[in-house]
Structure 1
Amino acid sequence: MRRIPVRSLAVLATVGTLVLTGCGTETGDPADSTPAVAGADRTIRAHEVMQLTKVHEETGMTLLEGPTFDGTGKLLVVDVTAPAGKPKVIRVDVRKRTSQAVHTDARGAYTSAQFSPYDGRLYLTDYAHGEVVSLAPDGSDPRTFFSGDVDGARMNPDDIAFDEEGNLYVSDSRGLSTGDAHGRVVRIERDGKESTVLAEGLASTNGVSFDADYEGLWISELTQNRISYLRLDGKGGVASKHTAVRVDGGIAQTDSIAVDAAGNIYQALHGRAAMVVYDRHGERLATIEVPARAKGLESATNVAITPGGTRAYMTVSGPAGGFLYTFDALAKGVRQSNGG
């Protein structure tokens, strides 16, 4: 399989074949982790919950993404590289440490998952086909919510953020395979009938999340290793944009983003099984890492923090397989830290 050396979420469909770019053994209570305090970059050790997937023979890898809690407290995740017939959406009972298949199909390469506050359905981005699809909470009734060009160009939709009315804000990673700055942020009306480009010329847009007050969007630009901030105008548009944080990732690159109740930004890293946490002013507060002896894990793609609680669950993947790790977040979970 030919690999494009940029990031694990780069998914392309060619001649019906998926081409994608791109264990831990410690268990324990995350309360034993070193706490993070404001004004200090501390290390928080995440602890293994369970292994969810193994490397797929058909695609040569596994890649977990999009953790999000449903209304019953179960955690759903997607496996971006799962082939047809293998679970592409998985439901996890984190207390019992059990999992079950929720959805599969013959074509989708799903890179994120989040429940809509408008209709309660589970929304998935299909990176390979430029679509957003939705499922009933139990995984049934698949529907194509949005497909087609946006301003004359097909999307490579990566992550999703919902506003309080249920409109979608999608990170479009156009240009990832070529390295060109063609990335966008696209707003899709909650009925799926209209779309608007809010920002363009971005460097491989990846993570997207509202801030704690829904006043703006944090977005990560993977090929520039930076987090930008789009201040919204309250009318469905953007009032301003600026680079907010420059991430010193070394060989790692900025993946998905989550935001907790205190407004802290959790930046996942592709190329390192870790996340970094910043406050809204760009001060680095903590680094979250898996134990050093957890071999074969290369990327921490995303995180979901328990709604109203601080227990966080991080998706981690690599040649060892796809794993779920847990740690204590710096503040409580809200919608902005539950999927995307």
Structure 2
Amino acid sequence: MRRPAIRSLAALATAGALALTGCGAEAGDPSGEAAAGGQGRTIHAHRVMQLTEVHEETGMTLLEGPVLDAYGHLIVVDVTAPAGEPKVMRVNVGEKEAETVFTDSRGAYTSAQFSPYDDRLYLTDYAHGEVVSLASDGSDPRTFFSGEVDGARMNPDDIAFDPEGNLYVSDSRGLSEGEANGRVVRIDRDGEATVLAEGLAATNGISFDRDYGGLWISELVENRISYLRLDDEGVVTSRHTAIRVDGGIAQTDSIAVDADGNLYQALHGRPAMIVYDEHGERLATVEVPDRGEALESATNVAITPGGTTAYMTVSGPAGGYVYSFDALAEGTRQSNGG
């Protein structure tokens, strides 16, 4: 992102300091509005509530990792929250109330998702190359993974779980140097890590396709979505560029996939998401009606499992917000967080 005030998930500088590189209307009309130039329809998101303001200590706020818990409450992380401020929050979207779930003195958490194996909440700590887990109420913090993978520490960004509870992590390593050193790393549920793909351009979003036969990944600095086909053991057998995203000044952030296999590509640098089908056809654009200089990025989305209500995290100089819209198809476990 060009503005230092709000750079991508993917761009937390290390060296101990955080430096980021890289709602009004009614709910979106399911019929949408026709968009010119084969861009699909326009879906207008509506504002649910404001969660955060810009932090004086860090100069920004950046909401990420929305995921619904077993009670229908929305869990959200604030990547740039300073020590002691809420880093993981629980939102009662019906009552428009939020409470702190977890904070600490060091973490920069960029994603959140519940494991299908142990039902704990897993968070990626971009700044320290770790994956940590919490009980659903925010207690009992544990370091699930820490250390190097094939001789290099990760910058873990987003996560996706397979049905057995193994983690697939987008590693944005190399972003600050402008080099294609990004990776996809598999961490089995016992904590053993394996590099599945490398040479990627700032790996950001990651999600399985609807049949768990492959992974969709977004590469931030190339504005592209790549597809990694997997075998039955979770090993990558092939990879190719699947979609080139025409984002202008915006860049590809997180990805979610609904029950019909549609991809929801978040945009860093524009408060919007682009929806594609699995063949690369652009189906829709989700827009924030009151977009502008004060709201700069839509980072991620959680689609309600078994329903079509979607919650999108949006941030900028005006603060951090949750917006909602009607997804094109129902959500699944894996489209809920990551």
Range into which the TM-score falls when normalised by the shorter chain: over 0.9
Shift of 1:238: 0.7
What SS does the corresponding residue of 1:139 show, helix, strand or coil? coil
Structure 2 letter corresponding to 1:128:
A
What SS does the corresponding residue of 1:335 show, helix, strand or coil? coil
1:250-289 paired onto structure 2 within 5 Å: 250-289=248-287
Contact 2:43/2:286, CA 8 A, preserved across alignment: yes
Shift of 1:36: 8.1
**Aligned position for 1:56:** 55
**Could you report, residue by residue, the CA deviation over 1:8-28 in whole angstroms, capped at 9, with x for unpaired residues?**
4311232x4322235xx5142
In the alignment, the residues of structure 1 paired with residue 34 and residue 70 of structure 2 have an alpha-carbon distance, to the nearest angstrom, of 29
1:88-99 paired onto structure 2 within 5 Å: 88-99=87-98
Contact 1:7/1:21, CA 8 A, preserved across alignment: yes
Shift of 1:191: 1.5
Shift of 1:29: 2.9
**Aligned position for 1:176:** 175
Contact 1:33/1:45, CA 8 A, preserved across alignment: no
In the alignment, the residues of structure 2 paired with residue 32 and residue 253 of structure 1 have an alpha-carbon distance, to the nearest angstrom, of 26
Contact 2:6/2:61, CA 8 A, preserved across alignment: no
Contact 2:107/2:127, CA 8 A, preserved across alignment: yes
Unaligned stretches of 5+ residues in structure 1: none
What SS does the corresponding residue of 1:9 show, helix, strand or coil? helix
249 and 45 in structure 1: CA distance in 2 versus 1, 3 angstrom threshold = same
**Could you report, residue by residue, the CA deviation over 1:71-97 in whole angstroms, capped at 9, with x for unpaired residues?**
111110100000001000000111111
In the alignment, the residues of structure 2 paired with residue 161 and residue 64 of structure 1 have an alpha-carbon distance, to the nearest angstrom, of 18
In the alignment, the residues of structure 2 paired with residue 270 and residue 60 of structure 1 have an alpha-carbon distance, to the nearest angstrom, of 17
In the alignment, the residues of structure 2 paired with residue 204 and residue 4 of structure 1 have an alpha-carbon distance, to the nearest angstrom, of 20
Contact 1:134/1:143, CA 8 A, preserved across alignment: yes
Shift of 1:307: 1.1
**Aligned position for 2:147:** 148
32 and 186 in structure 1: CA distance in 2 versus 1, 3 angstrom threshold = closer
Shift of 1:286: 0.3
Q: What root-mean-square deviation, in Å, do the aligned CA atoms of Structure 1 and Structure 2 show?
A: 1.8
What SS does the corresponding residue of 1:101 show, helix, strand or coil? strand
Structure 2 letter corresponding to 1:310:
T
Structure 1 letter corresponding to 2:8:
R
TM-score norm. by structure 2 comes to 0.95
**Could you report, residue by residue, the CA deviation over 1:275-310 in whole angstroms, capped at 9, with x for unpaired residues?**
000000000000001014565000000000111100
Shift of 1:337: 1.1
Structure 2 letter corresponding to 1:230:
L
1:156-175 paired onto structure 2 within 5 Å: 156-175=155-174
In the alignment, the residues of structure 2 paired with residue 296 and residue 6 of structure 1 have an alpha-carbon distance, to the nearest angstrom, of 14
Contact 1:6/1:177, CA 8 A, preserved across alignment: no
Structure 2 letter corresponding to 1:52:
L
**Could you report, residue by residue, the CA deviation over 1:18-70 in whole angstroms, capped at 9, with x for unpaired residues?**
22235xx5142334772689x86111111000000000000000000000011
In the alignment, the residues of structure 1 paired with residue 122 and residue 111 of structure 2 have an alpha-carbon distance, to the nearest angstrom, of 8
In the alignment, the residues of structure 1 paired with residue 334 and residue 34 of structure 2 have an alpha-carbon distance, to the nearest angstrom, of 20
In the alignment, the residues of structure 2 paired with residue 206 and residue 19 of structure 1 have an alpha-carbon distance, to the nearest angstrom, of 17
